[in-house]
Amino acid sequence: MDASTCTVILAALTAVAAIAYTVITYFLLREAQRQTEGQIAPVLNVSFDGLQGHTLSFENIGRGAAVKGTVTVLLEEDPKSKALFFKPEGIPGKISEAMPLLKSGETAALDLRQIPLLGGYTNVEAAFNAFRFHFRFDYESTSGAKYRTTAFAEAGHLIQDRGSYERIR
């Protein structure tokens, strides 16, 4: 084997090692970013006082701030429903409320009695106790990662086993 062949083989092995190093470094960096995001992510805890004040409260129990958030309230489909929410665009069944910033440890509340009811319910108490509500909170961390917390209420109480917290891509 002459010197030029050895040089070519050595250069090829060096290139393979550099590529392997780059790939391994990339995956290590991604994992480190994921772990860091998990440590500083906002996490919203939901509570609902449907029988007393009709207040939907959410507390950021995570370490990071929740920014650019919206709270969406949906009335779950019921063909016999006479009460519907509406959102500002006029689409029945939904309303969205902006939540610009919720720092770690802070609590915010939304009074659901401020949402106009349509249809045959003049008694707001009856409407809140008659239907199932779906609450969806979409928000971001300060690094731009997107999250969603969902909760459901029926007859004025949260349904504990149906809520979720997830990171959305």
Reported as a single tens digit per residue, the pLDDT across 111-128 is: 766 665 544 455 556 666
Give the residue, 51 or 69, on which the prediction is more confident: 69
pLDDT at 89 exceeding the cut of 70: no
The pLDDT score that the predictor gives to residue 164 is 77
Assess contact for 86 and 77: CB atoms under 8 A.
no
CATH number of the domain at 41-168, please? 2.60.40
- Pairing mode, strands 107-111 and 55-60: antiparallel
Local confidence band at 68 (pLDDT 50, 70, 90 cut-offs): confident
pLDDT at 14 exceeding the cut of 90: yes
pLDDT at 156 exceeding the cut of 70: no
Phi-psi region of 29 (alpha: psi -120 to 50; beta: other; left: phi over 0): alpha
- The amino acid at 44: L
Local confidence band at 47 (pLDDT 50, 70, 90 cut-offs): confident
Give the residue, 12 or 71, on which the prediction is more confident: 12
The pLDDT score that the predictor gives to residue 165 is 77
In this prediction, residues 162-167 reach a mean pLDDT of 74
The pLDDT score that the predictor gives to residue 45 is 84
Phi, psi for 92 (deg, rounded to 5): -65, 145
The pLDDT score that the predictor gives to residue 90 is 39
Look up the pTM and report it.
Answer: 0.66
Q: How far apart are CA 129 and CA 79, in angstroms?
A: 17
In this prediction, residues 26-38 reach a mean pLDDT of 88
